[in-house]
Structure 1
Amino acid sequence: MHIVVIAWLYVTVLMALTETSVVAGILTLVFYGLAPTTLLLWLFGGAGRRRRAARMSREASPASDRTDHEKPEH
């Protein structure tokens, strides 16, 4: 997936360099390169974010996984 992103950004940088003005080049880079790439990575990264959030919540509360008879008494 990352090789596709790198290749697409390479293409859009070359497209931006061939524009007639600096403003057009920046807009080409942002709207043809950075915005679609960010959206693509965000959409396809959702499963990883969910797994990471679930792992973090499990690590944050290990005592809640115990049953009543396993809890130490004070």
Structure 2
Amino acid sequence: MNKRLTKISKYLAFILRHEPQSIGLKLDAEGYLNVDELVGKSNATGKSITREQVQQVVAGHEPPIFALSEDGSRIRAV
């Protein structure tokens, strides 16, 4: 994983595990956030990320530390 994706991974871990409210989001009952909302709110607060980068981060961890829903629309920390 390159440096940019590593930074995004750390940011996602912070948001998904500790402070989703810091960007105006709330985890659902299963601990998921909508990926498009996450990307939009992140960009609005100065963290430039894309949906594709989120998918690369999820795929780039072994063992996995993030999981996407079956349809790929939501993300959560594992």
Select the structure with the greater relative contact order (CA < 8 A; seq sep ≥ 6): 2
Point out the structure with max Rg over C-alpha: 1
**Alignment TM-score > 0.5, same fold:** no
The answer to which structure has the higher helix fraction is 1
More strand per residue: 2
